Amino acid sequence: MTTVFERIINGDIPCHKIYEDDLVFAFLDIAPLSRGHTLVIPKEAVPYLHELSESSGAALGKALVKISTAVVKATGAAAYNVLQNNGKDAHQEVDHVHFHIIPKYTNKGLSLDWAPEELDAGEDLATKIAQHLM
Ligand code: AMP
């Protein structure tokens, strides 16, 4: 099914466009958490980060640095979060990979409920994950 982000890339619905190259598109979030809240998306239409091609991933990494720099310069924000949600349980609403760049100002921006736990060193999860690297 076509998502709202594919329709934005195709020019079927309007957006506040910031950037476009062969693989990447960026625009302002329509419901910003703070001034300058930007979405950076691949043109490749897949829901999850782990489904992206290597070329789209590389292009996104490059664009994120470029666009974050521009957001910082344009807004004057001294701090910002880059957020990328995968799956409904992780607060993903639009099923097309997207990175949020969210400037942080006093009382404005991303709020985090971060509850760290102790690492289970017995499981050797690092080795388990490394074995699945391609
Ligand atoms: P997420 O919860 O990570 O899936 O975030 C989806 C984001 O897309 C939200 O912050 C929405 O405000 C934003 N969004 C949805 N529709 C549009 C649109 N037409 N133009 C710009 N941003 C949008």
> CA 52, CA 129: separation in Å to the nearest integer?
18
What amino acid positions are annotated as catalytic residues?
Answer: 98
> CA 23, CA 20: separation in Å to the nearest integer?
8
> CA 100, CA 112: separation in Å to the nearest integer?
14
Q: Enter the tokens of residue 94.
A: 């639009």
> CA 46, CA 126: separation in Å to the nearest integer?
27
Compute, in angstroms, the gap from residue 5 CA to the centroid of ligand 1. 8
pLDDT for 71 equals: 98
pLDDT for 17 equals: 98
Mean pLDDT of 74-99: 97
Pocket of ligand 1 from Cβ distances under 6 Å: 4, 15, 29-31, 39, 85, 91-94
When the pLDDT of each residue in the chain is averaged and rounded to a whole number, the result is 97
pLDDT digits (tens, 9 = 90+) for 3-50: 999 999 999 999 999 999 999 999 999 999 999 999 999 999 999 999
Question: Quick one: pLDDT band at residue 121, thresholds 50, 70, 90?
Answer: confident
